[in-house]
């Protein structure tokens, strides 16, 4: 389901649907309710990737760990680092992308 389809079903423009979803105060209450009814009835969820492209922000933070694979799993530091980073990102509405840059063990 797209914003255009929601707009067509609610009898409003695509930009009105966008304003309702983004909680713009300049939308009539009756219109807002009609749009939300269509959104809920169709189990619509905004596309995260599309929103990131439109807003030019991905809300993704990359964590690069340049260690040998055996060190990542053997050293208790790395799971704690990853867990703490993921929790901090989640609390702030960000996503964590983990990249293991594998190199030979020393």
- Asked whether residue 7 falls in the same domain as residue 43, the answer is yes
Number of domains, the chain: 2
Percent of the chain's residues with pLDDT above 70: 94
- Asked whether residue 47 falls in the same domain as residue 76, the answer is no
Cα angle vertex 25, ends 19, 30, to 5°? 80
Q: For position 24, which CATH number holds?
A: 1.10.260.40
- Asked whether residue 21 falls in the same domain as residue 43, the answer is yes
Q: Which residue range(s) make up the domain with 15?
A: 3-54
Please state whether the predicted TM-score (pTM) of the whole model is above 0.75.
no
Q: Is residue 105 part of a domain?
A: no
Tens of pLDDT, residue by residue over 38-79, are 999 999 987 777 776 777 778 899 999 888 878 888 889 999
- Kind of pairing between the strands at 60-65 and 95-100: parallel
């Amino acid at each position: 389901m797209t914003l255009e389809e929601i707009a067509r079903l609610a009898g409003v423009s695509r930009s009105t649907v966008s304003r309702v979803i983004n909680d713009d105060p300049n939308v009539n209450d009756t219109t807002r309710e009609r749009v939300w009814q269509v959104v809920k009835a169709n189990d619509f969820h905004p596309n995260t990737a599309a929103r990131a492209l439109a807003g030019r922000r991905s809300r993704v933070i990359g964590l690069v760990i340049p260690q040998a694979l055996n060190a990542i799993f053997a050293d208790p530091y790395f799971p704690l680092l990853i867990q703490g980073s993921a929790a901090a990102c989640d609390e702030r509405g960000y996503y964590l992308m983990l990249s293991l840059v594998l190199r030979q063990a020393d």
